Amino acid sequence: MNGVTSEAVNGMDERKPWEQAAGVLPGPLRRSLYALGPDRLCALEELRLRRGFPMTALLPEGEVETGGLPVGEDELRQVVENATQSSAHTALDRVRQGFVTLRGGHRVGLCGTVVKKDGQIVTLRELSSLSIRVARAVEGLATPLLPALTEDGRFLSTLILAPPGAGKTTLLRDLVRALSDGEGGAPLRVAVADERGEIAALWRGEPQLYIGRHTDVLDGCAKAEGLSILIRGMNPQVAAVDEITRPEDAQAVIEAAGCGAALIATAHGAGLDDLNRRPAYRELLAAGVFRRLVVLERRGAERDLRTEVLP
């Protein structure tokens, strides 16, 4: 990415984050957003479409109705079609994890009636609600943390812990950017296993969200497999993944740490005691993979960050 800056990436979608995310809405729903006004729209975090109720917007002060008629099945299916650029029927047949990632890293979560075959989810039908989560880069968010995450000039493996929706991915993204660009030290080679396309939001091979000059991204690959590929092929000094949830993810992180790379990962949780109650994280903590824990809490528009030393 020679010549690339955080202000301009070739092929980057120049629309504001909320405009990118709202671009999948049918016209009437999209127009109903404008009543919120430009300042509130720039702070938009999520849109919620629930069948039988008007659309709502999640803002720092809470969830508010945007006006307009109740959302029906046609509107829900139209969003899915716009998000996937295919018919809703075709799209739902390939939705396994309950979400679709949009250009720009925004995510559409889907709820409805699950159809299973041989114990596995094969499709969703009769959509009941959608959540459109707005992704945005917040440059400088991680900068104050860097002194606490380094020791003798070395970055220490760090786990970011927060409840859902508090901004774990946003903080992870900016920490990747800061390390890659050499804030507070020499630039580091950072490899990102971006399973859901939310960290870098690659579009035709180019990140839509700035993640630094020395960052390599593997998009759309399961975390465990992605980490293995990146460690073998890209020789990173730091490897990053979002939301460790499965035992195989934890095992892959342990193996990556054994290869000499520092790790950055995120997890849902309320604190260290919460992590110790879960087998996958208990294994990670016992293995001593992470040296620092960043606990992120959200109070309205404010983020509270604190760093703890792990043994």
- Alpha carbon dihedral 270, 275, 279, 280, in 10-degree steps, equals 100
| Pair 141, 176: CB distance under 8 Å | no
pLDDT confidence of residue 92: 63
In whole angstroms, give the CA distance from residue 82 to residue 47. 15
Note the pLDDT tens digit of each residue in 64-88. 999 889 999 999 999 988 988 876 6
* Mean of pLDDT over the chain: 88
Alpha-carbon distances, residue 247 vs 47, 206, 311 (angstroms): 32, 31, 21
Annotate 94-112 with b (16+ C-beta within 10 A) or e (fewer): ebeeebbbbbbbbbbebeb
Of 128, 79, 88, 139, nearest in space to 107 by CA: 79
Note the pLDDT tens digit of each residue in 228-242. 999 999 999 999 999
In whole angstroms, give the CA distance from residue 139 to residue 48. 26
Give the H or E element holding residue 175: helix 168-181
pLDDT band at 55 (very low <50, low <70, confident <90, very high): very high
Q: Torsions phi, psi of 152, nearest 5?
A: 55, 40
In whole angstroms, give the CA distance from residue 138 to residue 301. 13
Note the pLDDT tens digit of each residue in 145-197. 999 999 999 999 999 999 887 889 999 999 999 999 999 899 999 999 999 88
- The whole model's pTM is what? 0.82
